[in-house]
Structure 1
Amino acid sequence: MTTIINTVEVQPDARRMIEGLRDTGYKFNTAMADIIDNSIAAGATLVDIRIIMDYIGDITIYIADNGSGMDEEGLINAMRYGSNERPDPGSLGKFGLGLKTASTAFCRSLSVTSRSAGNGTVLKARWDLDHVSIQKWNLLFLNPDQEEMKLLADVTEGGAGTIVTWEKVDRVLKTYSEQGGTYARRALERIQESLADHISMVYQRFLDPSYTDANNVIIRLNEKAIEAWDPFCSQEPYTEVVAERRQEVELPDAQTTTSFFIKAYVIPRKEQFSSEEEAKKAKLTNDRQGFYVYRENRLIHYGDWLGMFRNEPHGTLLRVEFSFDHTLDDAFNVDIKKSNILLNDDLYNWLKDQFLPAPRRAADDRYRKGVNKGVGKAAKGAHDGSNAGIGSKEKAVQMANIEVTDEENNEVEVTNKKGRFKIKLPLIESAKEGEVHVTAVDSVDDGLLWEPCLIDKHHAVRINTSHPYYHKVYVPNLLSGVTIQGMDSLLWAMCEAELGTINDDTKYYIKELRYEVSKLLRKLVEDLPEPDINNGD
């Protein structure tokens, strides 16, 4: 056993440490959310954000709230890197670093101005990175400026509250030749639009007055209130809850248990929404599908499948709520930015293999029904060349003679080199002139990709446009006549070979072969990109 003979306190180099902590990987929206977290943790019912660019292009950002405010001791603690743990373990503030690291990721001067309840004194403290670089870990106390005093009065109506001020903002906008010019201002407008969108999603449960499990908060950006965005479109008539479960979890100390809640929603297709405006609000994009993970009612991660599946268009309609409280922070390895979680193997496998398969099928079915309209439109006329090409050689390559014996029951008699046999075969009248050898249909029994049939007594093949192979292989090539004719000819030839070799002993196995090939193709094309077909358009 090693014996300690001495201890030496080693202070980190102030300049290198505070500069290094600027690069913890924050994005602007995530950094702003960390500041809002502190406001909500302080019991604020109003958060007022002002982003101001002056005539020369310098940006100042204020985040003001009417929360509990701080006295001198509380202010010093809040500005400390690694501040004391909050009394409430369910607080949105978690590590005591967010205020500082989130702010200095984008500015070189961070000020906090605050007034506590029952105390009329307004205090202001500042971390100035340029000062720290010279004077070490010196927290500056200053007199609040006129703008901050006015804003504090507006937001708190003379009561308790806090303002976080970012100055020397050097990492929000890229460099423009005209710092305060038109391009810079337009870029800043886009940044503000993105921030409003982020806040409406991350704090949806706090912004929505009808959600009673979270404290209601008004958040304004440049004096405009931000509305909650519901990713699950829960008020839409066609939204369907396809699975939900509250799962008990035993904590490591084995003395207590907690739980998480999971709920899967299949949202409407574009044309199923109650209005075009609601469809637009739903943001039916590839990057909004997947898990929506909430910690203490605050969204911390969204828009993917946590590594279980790739984001693809057929998953666009499936959104899964995953909610837990602070007791599972360690179990889910919540990161410093509160923007991600890490699942253990047992939970990962349970979600992937047991909970999600049924919701994924339901979402896929709804998506396919909408996509099939688009496929039918896109495929119109795509098989004309195949019909003409096969028709010119039909008699020369036929391997069997087929006579209809019972039209009502789709029964035919096949004569081939093996003999004469009775089978059932789909009997179809041509949907349009000339389409008598290849026809694309919405579905085929058992999910088969193709099956032989008779169209106006011609030997033909039905191709299932609902099969993933059609979506991912056929659709991207619909404008390539040679490719389509080549694939159609292959499937028609397989049908003809089936009819030319079938007998009573093999007819079951031949259909089984089609089923297995169709299943294998479904699996093989999983990782192929899916064409973007507008639902209902």
Structure 2
Amino acid sequence: MTNESIVSVPDPARTMEGLRDTGYEFDTAVADLVDNSIAAHATVLDIRLTADIRGDIRLSIADNGDGMNRDGLILAMQYGSPKRSDPASLGKFGLGLKTASTAYCRRLSVVSRNSGDAPALMATWDLDHVATRREWELLFTDEPDDEALEHLDAVASGHSGTVVIWTKVDRLMNYKDAASGHARRGLEKKKNALIEHLAMVYQRFLDAKDKRAPNVSIRVNGAEVKAWDPFQVGYSELLAGDTVKVEGSSAEFIVSAYLLPRPEEFPNEEAAKAARIATTRQGIYVYRQDRLIHDADWLGMFQIEPHFNLLRVEFSFTHELDEFFHLDIKKSQIILDDELWAWLKDQFLPAPRREANRRYREGEKKEIGKASKGAHDASNRTIGTKEAEVGGAEVNVNDPNTGSVTVINPRGKFTLKLPVGSANRPGEVFIQPASGIRDGMLFEPCIIEQHKAVRVNTEHDYYRKVYVPNLKNGVTIQGMDSLLWALAVAELSATTDKTEENFADMRFEVSRILRKLVEGLPEPDLGTDSDAA
């Protein structure tokens, strides 16, 4: 029996090609490179995303960090480079520089110097060269190209620093004509999305007033990246907060729930716009070492619903819990164990979610009230032209304060109680949108300025989910209004003092059934999604 150890070297071309498909989004890939710059103690980063006249794209990220000598640069370009001496470093697995870059380009170059008077060195992985040579052959030179040197000197003149360069970019744009106007507009869109992503991910680094992380300045194509705080501290309300110690470890994580104001409650329109209140922004924001690694969802705990647009939850931990949370290679997601997941879902989050829902409903009530004004005018005009033809019971008001009325219909003469009121708007005497109808019913017969009318409950789910999306569709609104008015008038024509309660029970049951039937319909869009484009 023979036992032996065999060194099995992976095929370089197949390995590199395979690692291109690790699932990096463009913004996430660039952020991985920014992590390396911050880990190298950079205070200034300058990102250039450009395309030449032929449409060839070039990404260049220059920093004024520590820089590297020859040995350091070779190690940095190694797949699975040695572990950093600082375990709290944003760079973690020794793969990000290579995998993040080659996810979008076929040629990755790094230019670096470790002092202001040291020569700049350049190392390059060229996937086509590796495939031809069939070797892990890293290209190395002490004569970097002029554009890379210019960029390095612009950011770190007389100082150590590094430039990461992508060329042969083949996966960023899908346009066949890379120099076309469509491609250039697409590249501009990529740039703007990158700025927004970096503003959120590195908020604590970009905000000079935030002392949790070292301060960093980032520019993209000359534009300064300004910190964006998802929790809008200073405007929001801290609903709940907890520091949790992990069993078997001295490490802790922080979880906090913030409730944002509604857009109209911000001090000005600019502040409301900056908050980016939208369904895409609600949820849990996960931070590692004060760097956002996962944003804006409920980690599979809940569905995204507009009722929770004002709720954002911070979940922060340090590098000590990387293994506990199963941090992935892209540093973009974590896995919670069943007990912690259940604690968050069933114990920590229910109270903040109830409060967020309550606040949203309050604001929604006001929004629907505003939206419904004038929406029923056409119905009132149409019914007014047909009121005499329709006929029905004769109703006389005895006491408007108590709602006592006398109803004369084919069944006799009866004294009943009905809501009696006046028009909220000129001509609004047949269909009146209202809130707070008793027992949560969708509608109820009433008398408005001596006319037989119906009040429609704007707080009922049927109004919210069926009426509101159609408020600008006059024919649809008239059709629904006519039906409810007809039911109210028919009730007055058929009721007696002995059956009055039965009709009320029927309205209650109809309202209950309708509420159930519209459960699965989408929430209304009230125009409050202020998320930046």
User: TM-score surpassing 0.5?
Assistant: yes
Aligned pair partner of 1:259 in 253, 256, 268: 253
Match of 1:363 in 2: 360
CA–CA distance in structure 2, aligned partners of residues 79 and 502 of structure 1: 89
Q: Which moved more, 1:26-35 or 1:116-125?
A: 116-125
Residue in 2 aligned with 1:215? 214
Q: Map residues 522-537 of structure 1 onto 2, 5 A cutoff.
A: 522=515, 524-534=517-527
Q: CA deviation at 1:220?
A: 1.0
Instruction: Decide whether aligned partners of structure 1 residues 406 and 528 sit closer, same or farther in structure 2, where only a CA change above 3 A counts.
Output: same
**C-alpha separation in 2, matches of 1:44 and 1:377:** 59
Give the drift of 1:18. Answer: 0.5
CA contact (8 A) 2:307 2:356 kept: no
Whole-Å separation in 2 of the counterparts to 1:474 and 1:391: 27
Partner of 1:147: 147
Q: Does residue 294 of structure 1 match 2:287?
A: yes
How does the TM-score come out when normalised to structure 1? 0.84
Equivalent residues in 2 for 1:316-327 (5 A)?
Answer: 316-327=309-320
Contact kept? 2:255, 2:313, Cα under 8 Å: no
Closer, same or farther: CA 367–434 of 1 in aligned 2, 3 Å: closer
1:338 aligns with 2:331: yes
Matched, 1:245 2:244: no
Question: What residue identity is the alignment partner of 1:334?
Answer: L
Match of 1:481 in 2: 475
Q: Is the 8 A contact 2:107 2:127 kept in 1?
A: yes
Number of aligned residues: 523
**What amino acid does structure 2 have at the position aligned with 1:258?**
E
Identity of aligned residues (%): 44
Contact 2:238/2:256 (8 A) holds in 1: no
Give the aligned residue type for 2:93. Answer: F
Residue 312 of structure 1 and its aligned partner are, at CA, apart by: 4.7
Cα distance in 1 for partners of 2:496, 2:82 equals 80
After superposition, the Cα gap between the structure-2 partners of 1:328 and 1:394, relative to the gap in structure 1 and judged at 3 Å, is: farther
Q: Aligned partners of 1:361, 1:4: CA distance in 2, in Å? A: 73
Aligned to 1:62: 60
Gaps of 5+ in 1: none
Determine the C-alpha separation between the residues in 2 that align with 1:392 and 1:242.
59
| Stretch deviating more after TM superposition (492-501 or 334-343) | 492-501
Superposed CA deviations along residues 456-503 of structure 1, whole A, max 9, x for unmatched, are 344432112233321221233442536643465247626864996687
Distance in 2 between residues matched to 1:419 and 1:352, nearest whole Å: 58
Closer/same/farther in 2, CA of residues 487 and 382 from structure 1, 3 Å limit: closer
Mark the CA change 1:374 to 1:433 in structure 2 (over 3 Å): closer, same or farther: closer
Q: CA deviation at 1:318?
A: 3.8
Contact 1:411 1:422 in 2 (8 A): yes
Q: Deviations over 1:266-316 (max 9, x none)?
A: 2332x4444444444343444333333333222223344434444455544
Indicate if the aligned counterparts of 2:20 and 2:99 stay in contact, CA closer than 8 A.
yes
Root-mean-square deviation (CA, aligned residues, Å) is: 3.7
**Structure 1 position 444 matched with structure 2 position 437:** yes
Hey, what does 1:172 align to over in structure 2? Answer: 172
Tell me, what secondary structure is at the counterpart of 1:246?
Answer: strand
Deviations 1:136-181 (A, max 9, x none): 212222222333233223322322222111111122222343x435
Cα distance per residue 1:219-238 (max 9 Å; x no partner): 01123322122334445xxx
Distance 1:119 1:447, change over 3 A: farther
The TM-score normalised by the length of structure 2 is: 0.84
When residues 124 and 463 of structure 1 are mapped into structure 2, their CA distance, relative to the original with a 3 A threshold, is same
* In structure 2, distance between residues paired with 1:335 and 1:515: 53
Q: Secondary structure at the match of 1:120?
A: coil
Q: CA deviation at 1:193?
A: 1.8
Match in the other structure for 2:370: 373
Counting only pairs closer than 5 Å after superposition, residues 84-103 of structure 1 correspond to structure 2 as 84-103=82-101
Shift of 1:105: 0.9
Residue in structure 2 matched with residue 201 of structure 1 by the alignment: 200
Q: What is the SS of the residue equivalent to 1:108? A: strand
- 1:306 alignment counterpart: 299
Q: Aligned letter for 1:167?
A: T
- 2: CA distance, partners of 1:196 / 1:5: 56
SS in 2 for 1:408: coil
Q: Please state how far the C-alpha of 1:184 moved relative to its aligned partner.
A: 3.3
Deviations 1:313-361 (A, max 9, x none): 5544444433333344444443332333444441334455444222222
